[in-house]
Amino acid sequence: MRKRSEAFPVGLYGMLLFALCWLTLPAVFAPLERLLLGATCIVPRLAAQFLGAPVQAATNTPVATPAALLARIAEHDLRAPVSLQATGLVPLHCAVIATGKNGGGGQVAELLLDHSYAELAGCSELVTKGDMLLGTLATRGRGPAALDAPDDPARVLLLNHGASRPQYAAMRTADGGALRFVVRAAASVDPAPLRVDLWDDPYRAARLQRAGDPVFTIDLPELPWVPPAGLRLGSSRIWGYPGEADGAPVLLGVFVDPGIEARALSHVVLWRAAAAIAPGQRAAGLEGLHGIKRLPGVLHDLPGVSNGRHLLVVEGAVAPTAAVVHEGRLLGSANGLAFGAALMTSFTASRQRWSLLLLPDDPAAPPRELTAVVVHTEGDVVWLRWRGGERERLPNGELFTGSNGRHCPAGLRVGRAGPHATELDLLEVTVPQASGPFAVEVLDGGGP
């Protein structure tokens, strides 16, 4: 008797192979996924047309406006030391639209500006923020900017970038003296973005026990490319082992902590001669949402809306992680699908790290640039775990977005913010919630 062979399940194994490819090559199948999700969203879109019409969400007049935020940013960012003002250069305020690769200390080492290389013709290489030296403007056609075109966004190389030149600096010591040394980019695994090298007095340097001393640039007239004296680089950070009993600690190295998280930077200052500014040329980057396209759309609730997922119907293509706003207030970020549909994740349900700006109620206090991630939501209150600068109790104020890419610019209002009662690294933010459907706008900053 002949044994009958069982049929080989070609369809089953084919589906398993297809699913495996989908999981291991998500970028290849992303267009198909967006198409299928867009087709799936047609049903709730049709149902929404019969269940309700879009309305305007109720909003309250904010205590602080984006214009007030930008004005205070400019006021504090342009406070350069006398040595820099004496050069005769004119400050040029620029907004950051994106950040690049990481460098020393594992922190961001490149910034992209809202000005192109052509618009910044005649600028000095100095990039500052207040009295602090951040880095240098990249030279187009050389180094990391070798392939950049004149119309590309200008690239800033921060001091912790491997291609940045070392800076000659000094630090005042506890005994009233000073130490001179060279500050250069640290390794990515080092505890701080910058490290100290080539001390003028290695013996005194080896006996350092106090951290937190200010580090600033010094003037070397024989070198024309050295920045003016008095620009702050950060504060010293001691790295080593504690000594035994009453013995002195074992010093392994000294680093420089800039005191600001580069990923949180939203605006920087460049410098150029007044004669280099052509008539009618843009003189500042503090233009708010100027040049940003606004796509009208309607936001609908999806099943499980408490998890922060919404259906967005928009007239046009939605860029990845585009900001969804209503009357200047950030609602969340969206990703386009197909057939005019997109999915929006609300700010309260997001898990990404946001660049944010806190505008204190005290009119004399500078805005705080920080990054934060949502850790808990309860009703209209969101708890953010923040970092950036010294670990201290943040003031009460209004919270805005910082630079979160081309399609989520700085200056979008998030909500009313205040410090947590007990934990210094927590920020409580009141974010008004609204149920759809209602009219919104999706921002598109253009570019790749």
| Each residue's pLDDT tens digit, 221-240 | 777 778 889 999 999 998 87
pLDDT of residue 207: 81
- In the chain, what percentage of residues exceed pLDDT 90? 41
Mean pLDDT along residues 83-104: 88
* pLDDT band at residue 31 under the 50/70/90 scheme: low
Q: Give the whole-angstrom CA distance, residue 438 versus residue 293.
A: 20
Q: Which residues pair with 257 in a beta bridge?
A: 235
How open is the CA angle 226-230-232, to the nearest 5 degrees?
95
Q: Which contacts qualify for 85-91: CB closer than 8 Å, 24 or more apart?
A: 86/228, 87/124, 87/228, 87/271, 88/273, 88/274, 89/124, 89/271, 89/272, 89/273, 90/271, 90/272, 90/273, 90/274, 90/277, 91/269, 91/270, 91/271
Q: Which of the two residues, 36 and 349, has the higher pLDDT score? A: 349
Q: Which residue has tokens 């598109």?
A: 444
Mean pLDDT along residues 14-41: 62
pLDDT of residue 91: 92
Closest alpha carbon to 154 in 102, 71, 193, 98: 98
Single-letter amino acid code for the residue at 15: M
H helical segments located in 166-294: 202-206
Q: Give the whole-angstrom CA distance, residue 358 versus residue 414.
A: 10
Verify cis geometry, omega within 30 degrees of 0, for the bond prior to 437: yes
The pLDDT tens digits for 36-72 are 555 555 556 555 555 555 554 444 545 578 888 989 9
Q: Which residue has tokens 């084919």?
A: 14
Distance (Å) of CA 250 to CA 205, 226, 360: 12, 33, 41
Q: Give the whole-angstrom CA distance, residue 386 versus residue 372.
A: 4
Provide the 3-class DSSP secondary structure of residue 263.
helix
pLDDT of residue 44: 60
pLDDT of residue 49: 57
Mean pLDDT along residues 126-139: 94
